[in-house]
């Protein structure tokens, strides 16, 4: 039976409030093998469209503000079976002018490099008559919390979120119909808004800048009430509202934490009348389009011990981003202090690596039992130290401590596990590293005085992120800021949003290539062509800038395509080197990334119909590749200056002579594989090796050729030599990697796709530093910024990047135990061990081609694509490789077995086996 299993409107299953024409997508399921969508009718009121596309369906009907719309989907499968389902969405304000005014305390000021005291706003009201519906539209300069009649409004943290405030600010919509009291009498309802400095006015980035986007906090709010008699009312922020800095929240900022005073009675403190203000510039106010930060799960401590200092230390067993939740039995004179850290050294919290961040929450208690959890900040931590602020110890009997995991509301769509428990822990570390750094923006780390949207980190991690999570709304929001902040010359900021960052905006490799790599990873995962179209002008402008910088001060045809200037991070964080050595590799990294982005952009251009551009970028890529080969190599696969990344990138980006011509380049396109249902169905699901080989069909995908190369099947001597040289460097390093951020994501691919799967597994399974499993065996529960963040002797590496200062002089150095970039190896776990890899947008076509090795006896991977569940589950027993796979309705899969046999499969569940 055909079923519609999922409908998403603007990538949300429910509670969609939008100010733009929404995109509608849906997934199907069927117990009929080979089923596919023939056509579907999507209707909404008087608007309807007939489509065969399950992903890209833009609503083009009329939209009115503050209105609910019902969407009906009626689908017909190729079998003739039918299915239908409904969903709803709401419009926001659209172009409705705001009645509300921005309000603040215009008399309040604060010094440089600190965050302002939170402002508490208050308004009391009583409804005129019985209510039919009520909702709030609200936003702020800063981050805000709403309380209506002592109950929290909504479930969001840190609204309205960090955006490029000069260009756009999100507003939120909250239904409060059931929260309003309709009791007779004046002022029966109290609406409270607490606004902290947040990213707009608070201290932010490692230079502790403040007032970056606003001189002080401000609030904009409208309470819309529709009465049962058909009339309506708007209660809006204006001068009649009250404000104070003497509320319960006495301090709040990202790095130092939060101070809350439960003894303060809002009815006895001084209040002022609000003053009118406005944002800088003229930002557009848009209904929430990103993924809000919310509580995702609750953790409980695995141990509690008394430190030598007397501090009570709780271990939550997992490094993560979030806040504590405490139930405290205390007296009014007590202030309980909660300090946070990622690691312990000698039984005490180690906080030097936090640099200037205090990461401390303080609760001034009232008598009796009370609950406290920070609302206006978050920490990155595993350990919490609890003590009394004014000295003295707290008894564990007087406190019950748990923790709330906070990150953007992104759905986990991927799973991976195998027979090796260390690799499974690595996968867990990768997932937690991602979640910890997806707090409204893709941050570098969640704990120290930084937490910025560094573009290089997400550039290399985007593909792994898209396997594990549905990143659609998260990336949509972030890329909108990127497009807004791109420089006139085409440069991409080092961090997005810039939010006071002092780096000049200029084109550079990897970090700048995020404008290509991030939307491309999202397109392959979700198939959204409109994202590519919106991003395309930014990509073109960036590549034009890269070409200009490559040609600066260059003489000769080859040097004009070697990208040296103005600056590259190079092989950032390569082990056993300092920052000067990382940067010195910039021209190798920059040139290779330039070629790769041209290759991807050519494919994007083809997908969106820019065929002339596609030809231009292919030609430009050829010139860059020629320059790399002739300037950096002897043309025979030997680098003039050798280091692992300089071999990894040209191998993975297919920059040797025969791969540059496209002979084996994986190309993603919109064309489907031509696979007949009959051929798929007739293939034996319990095939023997002989039957498998005989029934094997060479896939005519029209969109890709195999990306892995058998050295015995005609690969050029140049490619073979490059791969051999990379293996030699790995062996010379005693089976260790020496790659930095820019090379590590592609290292295992460069080996396994060129005949050295065994060496790739040797690196993956390496347990001494530097390696992924060294971190696992050292007790890491997330990915580290530097491989030797925790040394084998148990000390923390807080050394100076340049190597010129002692650790005592370094100010905490650059060391994070929750930094996802090196977790990009997760891409290889899904694509080469489980074998799942998209060959067109949204997995409309995909392949499953596991590469077993490393002593693994089983592995299973799962990805929830826009079309449904993709599943790969293989086991090896008695030299027989057995695999079970699942192909969603409307998609086609090419299965490649370890013995080389191939099957073209349409939707359904299958089993195959072969000798190994």
Q: How far is CA 427 from CA 409, 431, 434, 501, 782, in A?
A: 20, 6, 11, 32, 9
- List the one residue out of 407, 397, 240, 246 whose CA is nearest residue 322: 407
User: Is 138 within 8 Å of 155 (Cβ atoms)?
Assistant: no
Rounded to 5 degrees, what are φ and ψ at 800?
Answer: -65, 140
CA distance 277 to 104: 7
Catalytically annotated residue among 245, 253, 417, 450: 450
Q: Is 837 a catalytic residue?
A: no
User: Is 857 within 8 Å of 882 (Cβ atoms)?
Assistant: no
CA distance 373 to 324: 6
Residues contacting 9, CB < 8 A, separation 6+: 16, 18, 22, 23, 24, 71, 87, 88, 89
CB atoms within 10 A of CB 401: 19
Q: How far is CA 855 from CA 26, 428, 520, 852, in A?
A: 40, 20, 33, 8
Catalytically annotated residue among 785, 837, 862, 886: 785
Q: How far is CA 565 from CA 506, 512, 583, in A?
A: 10, 13, 12
Residue labelled with tokens 């040609």? 551
User: Is 874 within 8 Å of 886 (Cβ atoms)?
Assistant: no
Residues contacting 213, CB < 8 A, separation 6+: 141, 165, 166, 199, 200, 201, 279, 280, 499
User: Is 120 within 8 Å of 264 (Cβ atoms)?
Assistant: no
Residues contacting 456, CB < 8 A, separation 6+: 494, 510, 511, 514, 569, 572, 741, 742, 821
DSSP 3-state of 289: coil
CA distance 198 to 729: 47
CA distance 608 to 124: 53
- List the one residue out of 211, 841, 241 whose CA is nearest residue 524: 841
How many Å is the maximal CA-CA distance in the chain? Answer: 88
Q: Is 10 a catalytic residue?
A: no
Q: Which residues are part of the catalytic machinery?
A: 450, 785
């Amino acid at each position: 039976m055909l079923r519609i299993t999922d409908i998403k409107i603007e990538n949300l299953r429910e509670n969609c409030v939008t100010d733009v024409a929404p995109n509608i997508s849906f997934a199907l399921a069927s117990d009929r093998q080979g089923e596919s969508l023939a056509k579907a009718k999507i209707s909404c009121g008087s608007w309807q469209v007939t489509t065969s596309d399950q992903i890209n369906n833009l609503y083009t009907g009329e939209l009115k503000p503050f209105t609910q719309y019902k969407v009906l989907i009626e689908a017909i499968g190729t079998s003739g079976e039918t299915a239908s389902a409904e969903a709803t969405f709401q419009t926001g304000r659209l172009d409705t002018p705001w009645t509300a005014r921005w309000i603040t305390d215009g008399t309040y000021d604060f010094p440089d490099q600190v965050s302002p005291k939170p402002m508490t706003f208050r308004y009391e009201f009583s409804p005129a008559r019985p209510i039919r519906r009520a909702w709030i539209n609200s936003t702020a300069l800063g981050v805000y919390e709403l309380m209506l009649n002592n109950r929290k409004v909504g479930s969001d943290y840190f609204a309205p979120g960090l955006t490029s405030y000069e260009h756009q600010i999100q507003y939120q919509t909250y239904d409060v119909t059931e929260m309003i009291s309709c009791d007779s009498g004046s002022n029966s309802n109290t609406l409270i808004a607490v606004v902290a400095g947040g990213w707009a006015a608070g201290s932010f980035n490692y230079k502790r800048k403040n007032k970056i986007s606003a001189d002080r906090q401000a609030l904009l709010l409208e309470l819309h009430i529709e009465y049962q008699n058909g009339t309506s009312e708007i209660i809006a922020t204006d001068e009649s509202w009250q404000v104070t800095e003497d509320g319960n929240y006495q301090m709040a900022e990202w790095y130092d934490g939060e101070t809350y005073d439960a003894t303060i009675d809002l009815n006895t403190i001084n209040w002022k009348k609000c003053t009118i203000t406005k944002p800088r510039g003229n930002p557009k106010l848009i209904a929430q389009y990103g993924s809000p930060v919310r509580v995702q799960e609750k953790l409980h401590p695995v141990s509690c011990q008394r430190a030598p200092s007397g501090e009570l230390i709780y271990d939550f067993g997992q490094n993560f981003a979030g806040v504590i939740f405490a139930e405290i039995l205390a007296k009014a004179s007590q202030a309980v202090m909660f300090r946070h850290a990622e690691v312990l050294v000698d039984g005490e919290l180690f906080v030097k690596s936090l640099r200037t961040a205090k990461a401390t929450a303080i609760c001034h208690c009232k008598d009796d039992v009370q609950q406290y959890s920070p609302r206006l900040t978050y920490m990155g931590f595993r350990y919490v130290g609890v003590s009394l602020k004014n000295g003295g110890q707290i008894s564990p009997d007087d406190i019950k401590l748990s923790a709330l995991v906070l990150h953007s509301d992104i759905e986990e769509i991927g799973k991976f596990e195998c027979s090796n428990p260390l690799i499974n822990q690595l996968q867990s570390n990768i997932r937690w590293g991602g979640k910890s750094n997806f707090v409204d923006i893709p941050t570098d780390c969640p704990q120290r005085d930084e937490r910025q949207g560094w573009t290089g980190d997400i550039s290399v991690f985007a593909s792994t992120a898209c396997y594990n999570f549905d990143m659609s709304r998260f990336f949509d929001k972030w890329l909108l800021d990127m497009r807004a902040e791109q420089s006139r010359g085409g440069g991409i900021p080092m961090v997005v949003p810039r939010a006071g960052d002092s780096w000049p905006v200029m084109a550079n490799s990897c970090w700048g290539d995020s404008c290509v790599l991030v939307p491309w990873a999202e397109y392959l995962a979700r198939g959204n062509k409109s994202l590519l179209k919106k991003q395309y002008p930014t990509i073109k402008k960036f590549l034009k800038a890269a070409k200009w910088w490559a040609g600066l001060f260059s003489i000769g045809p080859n040097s004009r395509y070697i990208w040296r200037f103005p600056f590259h991070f190079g092989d950032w964080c390569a082990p056993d080197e300092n920052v000067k050595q990382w940067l010195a590799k910039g021209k190798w990294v920059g040139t290779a990334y330039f070629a790769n982005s041209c290759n991807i952009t050519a494919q994007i251009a083809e997908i969106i119909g820019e065929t002339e551009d596609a030809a231009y970028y292919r030609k430009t890529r050829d010139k860059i590749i020629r320059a790399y080969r002739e300037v950096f190599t002897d043309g025979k696969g030997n680098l003039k200056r050798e280091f692992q990344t300089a071999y990894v990138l040209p191998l993975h980006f297919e920059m040797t002579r025969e791969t540059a011509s496209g002979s084996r380049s994986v190309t993603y396109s919109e064309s489907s594989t031509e696979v007949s249902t009959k051929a798929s169905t007739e293939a034996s699901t319990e095939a023997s090796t002989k039957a498998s080989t005989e029934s094997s069909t060479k896939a005519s995908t029209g969109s890709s050729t195999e990306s892995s190369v058998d050295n015995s099947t005609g690969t050029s001597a140049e490619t073979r030599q490059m791969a051999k040289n990379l293996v030699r460097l790995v062996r010379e390093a005693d089976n260790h990697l020496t790659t930095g951020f820019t090379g590590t994501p592609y290292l295992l691919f460069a080996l396994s796709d060129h005949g050295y799967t065994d060496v790739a597994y040797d690196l993956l399974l390496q347990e001494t530093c530097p390696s992924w499993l060294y971190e696992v065996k050292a007790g890491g529960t997330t990915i580290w910024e530097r491989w030797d963040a925790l040394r084998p002797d148990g000390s923390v590496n807080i050394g100076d990047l340049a190597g010129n200062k002692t650790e005592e002089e370094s100010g905490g150095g650059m060391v994070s135990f929750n930094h996802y970039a090196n977790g990009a190896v997760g891409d290889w776990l899904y694509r080469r061990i489980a074998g799942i890899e998209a060959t067109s947008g949204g997995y409309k076509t995909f392949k499953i081609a596991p590469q077993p090795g490393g002593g693994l006896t089983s592995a299973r991977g799962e990805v929830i694509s826009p079309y449904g569940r993709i599943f790969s589950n293989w086991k090896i027993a008695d030299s027989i490789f057995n695999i079970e796979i699942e192909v969603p309705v409307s998609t086609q899969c090419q299965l490649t077995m370890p013995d080389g046999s191939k099957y073209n499969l349409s939707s359904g569940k299958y089993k195959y086996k072969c000798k190994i």
